[in-house]
Structure 1
């Protein structure tokens, strides 16, 4: 059997599809002494707490029925919306974010910085153009996509 994330993704995809929800991300992480299995779902107009509860119930039953147990240690299952600062994981996430304010973290410095926040103006398979406000002056940075460690929507203050 594959990793916990792969196993849970395979289990939750049909549940999400049946409910017309989009699977945004699955993560299995240790924080302090506890393990967390987090499933992020969304849909046009946002996901409700009842939908989260329904997915949690169905997914929990499916996980409990697996033998051998893919997660032998105790963990907390959390099913939620990705929130206002939704991660950009795949091509369609980036395409939907054109025109939006985003946060980008890089593996290495580019023009002296490892983090950028600005408006995603355009993208290609290799790069994205981000318009950044630098003390009242706008500058567009072209960032290689393979240099991006993480990207997410951001709230502009």
Structure 2
């Protein structure tokens, strides 16, 4: 086990064999998004219209990323959230691809590409975490316990 977040989840990087094992369970689209830093087309992700109470986790490593209570309709065509489950669960990187300047977000534990964060979200955070549905799994109800995050 590696470092733990304040919310109790293991943030130690996945060993290459474990990451490869988990990646074998992904669909081609999930692999393209999570591992090749792809973006799914707007308005087609399976979790865009989900309104159930629960937690959105990384599809690859299971780390909790966002609570349904912070999800909002941004009109962009991608699931959007105003606040992360735990700031330590997300890594932010400058992304200058496609002639744009953005902040890419990745799962801290497996380094899977999630989407981007923008400074145009609702109060009180002002953040809009714009996610690919292909990078997320949804867990209804309470978050998985820390020892079940992998």
TM-score range (shorter-chain normalised) is under 0.3
Q: Which has the bigger relative contact order, CA under 8 A and spacing at least 6?
A: 2
Q: TM-score, normalised by structure 2?
A: 0.23
Which has the larger share of strand?
1
Query: Considering only CA atoms, is the larger Rg found in Structure 1 or Structure 2?
Result: 1
